[in-house]
Amino acid sequence: MDQAACVPGLQLRSWGLVEFATTYQAMQAFTASRVADTPDEVWLCEHPPVFTQGLAGAPSHVLAAGEIPVIPTNRGGQVTFHGPGQVVAYALIDLKRAGYFIKEHVYRLEEAVLKTLLHFGVTGHRVAGAPGIYVRPDAPGDHRALAQRPQQGMARVEPDFAGLAKIAALGVKVSRHCTYHGVALNVRMDLEPFSRINPCGYAGLQTTDLSRMGVDTTWHTAAEVLSQKLATYLTP
């Protein structure tokens, strides 16, 4: 770990560029060794190109991996891509101590991404039935609510991605009431590998990044903003 900062109740760590497998093993070890007073942590990093497959992942959603490795994981969800220029934030939170459940944890992760996008002048959206955050590529600052947004009491629906592109993917694992894995925000990256998969299990789902939304920023700046939003929203 190359940098660390502490906010009340939460340790923020920046790893820089690190292999996914190394980070995955470290998350598992950290979670297995936690005790009641172990501080929660958020790890920020980026990975060399890699496809990661969730527990529900169908091999058919990997269309043509080519030279990019495919690594099975124990997080929820389907296949996604990680690569340089993407801020990956791993949230290691004791839910029992925090006092909220997994659905709220996911909501808080998404809220941190929404507020990060807003910082850069981009409006993010939730889509019913599809975890993660989406944007309107043709109107990044459009605040109009989506018809397909999650709404209280609505029945489970098939996600509708019309006019949208995914800018942040999310996957979580809970062990002994403690979370790991987290969220990945696309900042300025090569998006071509997303065409080699059905992102998050959806054929034809568009992906994008902040640079294509007209935002001129660096990985480090985006990571700093996201880390501060996560510190705000993951704190009980």
Q: Are 227 and 10 in contact (CB under 8 A)?
A: no
Question: Quick one: CA dihedral 74, 78, 81, 86, positive or negative?
Answer: negative
CA proximity to 211, closest of 148, 113, 107, 140: 140
Active site residue 200: yes
Among 6, 45, 178, 200, the one annotated catalytic: 200
CA atoms within a 13 Å half-sphere pointing along the CA-CB vector of 37: 0
CA 33 to chain centre: 24
Burial of 20 (0-12, 13-18, 19+ CB in 10 A): buried
CA proximity to 27, closest of 99, 102, 107, 93: 93
Please list the active-site residues. Answer: 200
